[in-house]
């Protein structure tokens, strides 16, 4: 999410943060060799459309769950949120806890049965089954466009980070990483993307876990670190997740608990984790319904621990680094290091030759897995929801697999083109996050009503989705043309872009739901027979009575939910 400042840094810092030695380079090269080897190996297993686009629907709960998490855990995410932790303190943890865990558990327990039983290959595919071709076409085209744009933006952002951190040429980073991704995804399809995401997951933990361990040793434990931070800053609100959210002025982020709970915890989080096909596609590859339900729960368990390797290093930087890190705007004028440099700085502090290579490999792996996630999701939606649905309906399965491979390669080249476009017009970066938010919140409203309310009609679904998206775009333009409108859209003239995105998402979700309900009530619904496998109340959900208690998803969702509550209380 927070990638723009990292990119701006590329324009301002001329000296690199880290220097690599021979063992580091050997480790990085070995990673590239391994991912290409996996792609080559999996090519033989990828023959049918089901293999290429859904990884053969044979992934275990663990593999689907770790891949589900990895598709989101990109390197920009790691560096950006470590920087946010340095800037805002432990409040950044909300994006990993309330901003993810409830939605992931809801996906696993409530929504996954419908996605899985309907045998859909994509989220737009589910919309087609539930609401018809219009809704599918709208969702598929917007998703394909946004995914490829995001892929290009992330590609440029990562190349910029490599320039700042290692001094690598931007063109070199873009071409080497994107051609590698193009090779292994076009060879092995989603299975190859998922395998590499699991590999990336392991590398991220192996590469990043030493920083919190050594940092806490140096700080003398968590309690001492809290005292050190409070002493340095002269305030103690950097290490509490909830107790300072009673008013806008009492915390470093200038945010109220209602914004965190309803904006982040409801619309933004549920919209992203339950309807963004990039992450949902991973779970659809599970081998059976129980695995599909368990995958997001396993993902949630690990998501809860990610602050250890992201937020804690930011706080350690706050308590231990001798220098004071600055906002990007100040770094541009005065030099020095920015908030977003905190993770590389902590790497440089503790990691010697070899370990540093592993840490950098974790960042590169994160970036490549994110890009592979984008292009594999794009290939599926383009081939099944656009090409097969509207261009060539009666081709053979082999033809669609071939189309999937080619559009993976073409998708990468379009992404590269987008990356160079962003290089020329960096203001595109400002708009991309907003563009993405236009579609996610209304889509969540449409899918949620589609799954839980059988009275929702095809016309209601389509017009609700369209109204929500158009209203979101209209609100954005309103604020863009007349900044004073921020006071109405975000309820405060001082709202930051993040808060504006949240409130705009909330309004567009409400508009989507209201329009869907209103139109549905005056149009003819589908019969119950047509809704079997798609909607709550019409779909027989397989009983889990015969499954041993400790193997039931609901039990583990309860365990993760209890741990989530406990963590929030402990760090209150």
Partner 1 sequence: MTSGSHLSIWFFVGILLAFYGLIIAGAGIYGWFVPPQVHLAQYHADLWWGLLLLAIGVFYCYHFAPRKARAR
Q: Which residues of this protein are in contact with partner 1, per CB under 8 A?
A: 23, 26-27, 30-31, 34, 37-38, 41, 45, 58-60, 63, 191, 195, 198-199, 202-203, 206, 210, 213-214, 217-218, 348-355, 357-358
Sign of CA dihedral 542, 545, 548, 554: positive
Rounded to a whole number of angstroms, the minimum distance from the CB of residue 126 to partner 1 is 25
**SS3 labels along 449-464:** HHHHCCCCCHHHHHHH
Residue pair 179/52 in contact (Cβ under 8 Å)? The answer is no
Q: Which is nearer to partner 1, 24 or 237 (CB)?
A: 24
Closest separation in Å from C-beta 92 to partner 1: 24
Cα–Cα distances in Å, from 52 out to 27, 115, 125, 183, 405?
Answer: 29, 19, 16, 14, 9
* Residue 357 CB burial class (10 angstroms; 0-12, 13-18, ≥19): buried
What backbone torsions phi and psi does residue 286 show, to the nearest 5 degrees?
-65, 155
Q: Quick one: 291 or 520, whose CB is closer to partner 1?
A: 291
Closer to partner 1 by CB, 89 or 207: give it: 207
Tokens for 122, please give them: 């994509």
Select 70 or 72, whichever has its Cβ closest to partner 1: 70
The span from the CA of 420 to the CA of 245, in Å, is 41
Q: Supply the minimum distance, in Å, between the C-beta of residue 188 and partner 1.
A: 11
Closest CB to partner 1 among residues 57, 136:
57
Supply the minimum distance, in Å, between the C-beta of residue 360 and partner 1. Answer: 12
Q: Cβ 363 to partner 1, closest distance in Å? A: 15
**Cα distance between residue 533 and residue 375, in whole Å:** 29
The smaller minimum CB distance to partner 1, of residues 53 and 476, is found at 53
Tell me the two tokens of residue 12. Answer: 């301002």
HSE (side-chain half, CA atoms, 13 Å) at 39? 22
Rounded-to-integer distance, Cα 455 and Cα 445, Å = 14
Yes or no: say if 139 and 123 are a contact pair by the CB < 8 Å rule: yes
Which one, of 216, 177, 234, 188, lies nearest residue 52 by Cα? Answer: 188
* Distance in Å, CB of 562 to partner 1, minimum: 28
355/441 with CB nearer partner 1? 355
Q: Compute the least distance from the CB of residue 294 to partner 1, in Å.
A: 14
Q: Which is nearer to partner 1, 198 or 443 (CB)?
A: 198
Nearest 5°: the CA angle 362, 367, 371 is: 145
| Contact by Cβ (8 Å): 457, 469 | no
3-state secondary structure of 179: helix
Nearer to partner 1, 192 or 472 (CB): 192
Helix (H) / strand (E) containing 302: helix 289-305
DSSP 117-145: HTT-SSHHHHHHHHH-HHHHHHHHHHHHH
- Between residues 141 and 210, which has the closer beta carbon with respect to partner 1? 210
Rounded to a whole number of angstroms, the minimum distance from the CB of residue 572 to partner 1 is: 31
CB of 217 to partner 1, least distance (A): 7
Least distance CB 32 / partner 1 (angstroms):
11
- Residue environment code for 267-301, b if the CB has 16+ CB neighbours within 10 A, otherwise e: bbbbbbbbbbbbbbbbbbbbbebbbbbbbbbbbbb
Round to whole Å and give the CA distance between 133 and 129: 8
Contacts of 566-569 with CB under 8 Å at 24 or more apart are 567/97, 567/304, 568/97, 568/98, 568/241, 568/242
Q: How far is the CB of 71 from partner 1 (least distance, A)?
A: 15
Q: How far is the CB of 356 from partner 1 (least distance, A)?
A: 9
């Amino acid at each position: 999410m927070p990638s723009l400042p990292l990119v701006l840094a590329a324009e301002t810092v001329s000296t690199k943060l880290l220097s690599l030695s021979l063992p580091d380079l050997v480790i990085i090269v070995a990673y590239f060799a391994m991912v290409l080897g996996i792609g080559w190996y999996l090519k033989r297993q990828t023959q049918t459309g089901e293999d290429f686009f859904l990884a053969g629907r044979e992934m275990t709960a663990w593999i689907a769950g770790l891949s589900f998490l990895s598709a989101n855990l990109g390197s920009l995410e790691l560096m950006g949120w470590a920087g946010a932790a340095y800037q805002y303190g432990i409040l950044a943890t909300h994006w990993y806890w309330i901003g993810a865990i409830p939605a992931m558990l809801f996906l696993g327990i409530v929504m996954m049965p419908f996605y899985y039983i309907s045998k859909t290959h994509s989220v737009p595919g589910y919309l087609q089954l539930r609401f018809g071709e219009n809704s599918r076409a709208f969702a598929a085209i917007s998703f394909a466009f946004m995914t490829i744009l995001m892929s290009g933006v992330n590609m440029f952002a990562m190349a910029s980070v490599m320039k700042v951190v290692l001094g690598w040429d931007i063109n070199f980073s873009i071409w080497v990483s994107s051609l590698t991704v193009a090779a292994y995804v076009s060879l092995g399809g989603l299975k190859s993307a998922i395998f590499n995401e699991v590999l990336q997951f392991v590398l991220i933990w192996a590469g990043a876990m030493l920083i919190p361990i050594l940092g806490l040793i140096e700080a003398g434990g968590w309690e001492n670190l809290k005292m050190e931070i409070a002493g340095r800053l002269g305030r103690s609100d950097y290490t509490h997740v909830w107790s300072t959210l009673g008013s806008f002025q009492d915390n470093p982020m200038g945010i109220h608990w209602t914004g965190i709970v309803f904006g982040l915890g409801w619309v933004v989080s549920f919209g992203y984790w339950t309807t963004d096909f990039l992450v949902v596609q991973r779970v659809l590859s599970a081998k059976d319904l129980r695995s599909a339900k368990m995958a997001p729960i396993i993902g949630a368990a690990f998501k809860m621990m990610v602050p250890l390797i992201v937020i804690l290093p930011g706080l350690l930087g706050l308590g231990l680094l001798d220098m004071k890190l600055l906002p990007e705007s100040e770094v541009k004028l005065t030099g020095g290091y920015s908030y977003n440099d905190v993770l590389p700085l902590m790497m440089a502090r503790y990691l010697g030759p070899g370990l540093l290579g592993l840490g950098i490999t974790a960042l590169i792996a994160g970036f490549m897995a994110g890009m592979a996630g984008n292009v594999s999701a794009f290939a599926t939606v383009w081939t099944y929801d656009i090409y097969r649905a509207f261009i060539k309906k009666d081709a053979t399965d082999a033809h669609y697999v071939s189309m999937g491979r080619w559009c993976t390669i073409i998708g990468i080249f379009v992404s590269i083109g987008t990356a160079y476009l962003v290089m020329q017009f960096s203001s595109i970066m400002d708009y991309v996050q907003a563009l993405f938010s236009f579609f996610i919140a209304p889509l969540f409203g449409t899918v949620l009503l589609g799954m839980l309310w059988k009275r929702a009609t095809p016309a209601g679904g389509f017009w609700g989705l369209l109204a929500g998206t158009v209203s979101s775009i209209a609100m954005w333009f309103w604020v863009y043309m007349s900044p004073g409108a921020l006071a109405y859209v975000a309820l405060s003239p001082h709202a930051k872009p993040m808060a504006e995105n949240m409130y705009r998402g909330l309004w567009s979700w409400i508009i989507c739901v209201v329009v869907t309900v209103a139109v549905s009530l005056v149009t003819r619904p589908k019969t119950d027979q047509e809704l079997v496998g798609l909607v709550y109340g019409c779909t027989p959900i397989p009983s889990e009575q015969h499954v041993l208690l400790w193997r039931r998803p609901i039990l583990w969702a309860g365990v993760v939910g209890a741990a989530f509550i406990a963590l929030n209380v402990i760090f209150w």
